[in-house]
Structure 1
């Protein structure tokens, strides 16, 4: 955990409660080193409500949520050329109002999604997020569209902010039940299986179209949550992992990728051990692990039931191993031994060199939402989608959440790798392979 530095009043004593500066944690620093305008590092979240929110009350509720989680009220501190760290300034109050209400026009939601993927909130203004409340003519409800700068915040942290805002907004209602604690990972019964050492498969290029410009595109889908027998040795997350692996293998095979049946796949999976209650730490709090699949495990006609059991054993072992968020090498790379500008150049160079060994894709599953997200007369959330950045060399990410017994899937891809029709085909493949993991099928 980073140590806060306090502003000192005259005489050298810290001002009471005035926490001013926090060094960037490892995840934030690496993300800041690798920032690029062509593919902004944003997380997009949208919460669908059946009714409309009151503008003044929502602004006040979100301001109160930020006050209750002051770690979100931060901006990047200016630094000199020889500074050894990036630092966050904890501002205690917002520099700008993060809440806006675009005009209710046809296509407003699509435009808000486009902004979420293309325009990152600045790190120089607190807080590094924005919330657009979107309505379209002829609809009763509204959509809360969040855009986060992923250098500062992740999806679960934003969901905690949204949950607090909902609790404040719907204060006339009965208090929400406490968020369930995330179960602790069971101790590993053996060695954690390493992902294959060979260079992993890449997502085969589709048809991005002539003159495709850098950036991300997005496709959302609502699917049934796959059924799972009581007492099954695997989780829904394992079913999603298997569906993702089979989807990518199938896609590469149909695209004629060289070695599609031989090269291993590696899927990055964020693991979040933070509590989900009001005390949840805000920021980037997940650690990344990689699940490996041999090419021979993903051939047509694979025994899906056996693959689910194998995957469950792997993911249990991976979750049980305690490690730094990005691994020990990243911790060494961000040690403040050299000026941060030199470390940034080294990190960017190493990222290019390590590109061929970057995991094939990322699957981020928030799971069943632990919050009611009840906004009073505007109603409870009926759907929640979120999407993770799809920068090259991965170029494709799968993100899921579950609300009201439905699975909300977001496919996000790099426009230099895939086109809109490719996204539709990938959604169809994922839908089919996810259904194959259901207890009614295996």
Structure 2
């Protein structure tokens, strides 16, 4: 039997591969809280079978000489390594699993580039660690939903997405100029150790009037902008425009969902003068106009420049060096932060009668400098689950607490729109 055909790295995967850093691994962390307990043998079997049902996740980086023109994924028939782990229970077990998720990326050389820690306590916490070079959070959540269905025997089909009237493609109206470098998140009290820090919190979902011209995602975007503007004022940073990167994911959520890195990135701009809570109704309307327009415009995942960089005109080693140099040169123009709003988690993540269904789901995205801070949100069981992740070269644990408090405050102000 012939070996499966290799898959050239898509643009997102290749750019990420070029820019890997050992100090700040590119991992995505997903944390699912269940009220009951899982049987180790059954969850291992269910998750392994789920991997097989989504075979695009069963890949490793194919070896090759330095002068090769492309990186390639090599499909495998099954996992190369044991993917599901069961850390020893204890008061520090969840914290240790989170630390591993931020500090230790599953290797690209072994299939699949994911790791699942099953942390037992009063209930069960599933900590899924993803090498972001290969996969994103929504794709792996789809795989986890399949595992839940296989384990518990209950339907884990995705809920229907919200129905919104599509707007015609248009350029963003009333958009601040993009000709000046955006603000950076002001330096707080960084730590000496490298890597990322993480804070997770549960907040009330913001209320939104029926028929409002904006979405919860727009409320979260405004909240993020006001939080950073306030933080920067507290730390004496100069007033500059903010630009917030927003992933847009158009993939279906059912079993046909393409597995990999499937989001495209757009940037939502804010002028310093408009970040005033006193003008909240107008700020929400303008933000909604910008996000709707950006979502409707066709655009490559990382923009047109990335596609040129990843064209196989030279060996990958040469293009990697060029990509890293251009990334350093473009650092002042990198967006202020990233807000990734998963929205309502589309799957019940129901593992059956004994384990139950998810009561909380957190995601976190890499927070490499120069951004140094990412904001990730999802909603489950009528609550908002917020993850703040930061580079320890920029912020410390106390800074994360302050940013959480600011976020909660401004999230509440987005409800006062009358």
Q: TM-score range by the shorter chain?
A: over 0.9
- CA-CA distance at 1:441 after TM superposition: 5.2
Q: 2:339 aligned with 1:387, yes or no?
A: no
Q: 2:280 aligned with 1:298, yes or no?
A: no
3-state SS in 1 of match to 2:46: helix
1:35-62 per-residue CA deviation (whole Å, 9 max, x = no partner) reads: 0000000001100000000111101100
1:398 to 368, 375, 384: 375
Match of 1:4 in 2: none
1:227 to 196, 207, 214: 207
Aligned equivalents of 2:161, 2:413: Cα separation in 1: 30
- CA-CA distance at 1:19 after TM superposition: 2.6
1:202 to 181, 184, 191: 184
Contact 2:170 2:296 in 1 (8 A): no
- CA-CA distance at 1:117 after TM superposition: 0.4
Aligned equivalents of 2:15, 2:319: Cα separation in 1: 9
TM-score, normalising length: structure 1: 0.91
Aligned equivalents of 1:27, 1:189: Cα separation in 2: 25
Aligned equivalents of 1:254, 1:413: Cα separation in 2: 18
1:11-35 per-residue CA deviation (whole Å, 9 max, x = no partner) reads: xxxx4xx533100000000000000
Contact 1:182 1:273 in 2 (8 A): no
Q: 2:164 aligned with 1:164, yes or no?
A: no
3-state SS in 1 of match to 2:358: coil
Match of 2:400 in 1: 423
3-state SS in 2 of match to 1:303: helix
Change (3 A) 1:51 1:181: same
Aligned equivalents of 1:81, 1:219: Cα separation in 2: 40
TM-score, normalising length: structure 2: 0.97
- CA-CA distance at 1:381 after TM superposition: 0.2
Change (3 A) 1:418 1:185: farther
Change (3 A) 1:26 1:177: closer
- CA-CA distance at 1:92 after TM superposition: 2.0
Q: 2:22 aligned with 1:37, yes or no?
A: yes
Aligned equivalents of 1:188, 1:363: Cα separation in 2: 24
Aligned residues: 415
Aligned equivalents of 2:312, 2:162: Cα separation in 1: 33
Aligned equivalents of 1:421, 1:360: Cα separation in 2: 20
- CA-CA distance at 1:201 after TM superposition: 0.3
Aligned equivalents of 2:15, 2:253: Cα separation in 1: 25
Q: 2:8 aligned with 1:26, yes or no?
A: no
3-state SS in 1 of match to 2:220: helix
Aligned equivalents of 1:153, 1:32: Cα separation in 2: 12
3-state SS in 2 of match to 1:220: strand
- CA-CA distance at 1:305 after TM superposition: 1.1
- CA-CA distance at 1:176 after TM superposition: 3.6
Aligned equivalents of 1:319, 1:235: Cα separation in 2: 13
Contact 1:192 1:321 in 2 (8 A): no
Match of 1:135 in 2: 120
Match of 1:314 in 2: 290
1:270-298 per-residue CA deviation (whole Å, 9 max, x = no partner) reads: 00000000010000000000000001111
Aligned equivalents of 1:183, 1:342: Cα separation in 2: 46
Aligned equivalents of 1:387, 1:375: Cα separation in 2: 23
Aligned equivalents of 2:114, 2:234: Cα separation in 1: 39
Aligned equivalents of 1:384, 1:189: Cα separation in 2: 33
Aligned equivalents of 1:302, 1:20: Cα separation in 2: 58
- CA-CA distance at 1:180 after TM superposition: 2.0
Match of 2:224 in 1: 244
Contact 2:35 2:124 in 1 (8 A): yes
3-state SS in 2 of match to 1:249: helix
3-state SS in 1 of match to 2:179: coil
1:349-395 per-residue CA deviation (whole Å, 9 max, x = no partner) reads: 00000000000000000000110100012000000001000000000
Contact 1:219 1:410 in 2 (8 A): yes
Aligned equivalents of 2:278, 2:373: Cα separation in 1: 24
Match of 2:334 in 1: 358
- CA-CA distance at 1:189 after TM superposition: 5.3
1:187-242 per-residue CA deviation (whole Å, 9 max, x = no partner) reads: 44532356622100000000125xx1221000010000000111100000000000
Q: 2:35 aligned with 1:53, yes or no?
A: no
Match of 2:243 in 1: 266
Q: 2:74 aligned with 1:89, yes or no?
A: yes
CA RMSD of aligned residues (A): 1.4
Gaps in structure 2 of 5+ consecutive residues: none
Q: 2:92 aligned with 1:107, yes or no?
A: yes
Aligned equivalents of 2:328, 2:35: Cα separation in 1: 45
Aligned equivalents of 1:184, 1:70: Cα separation in 2: 33
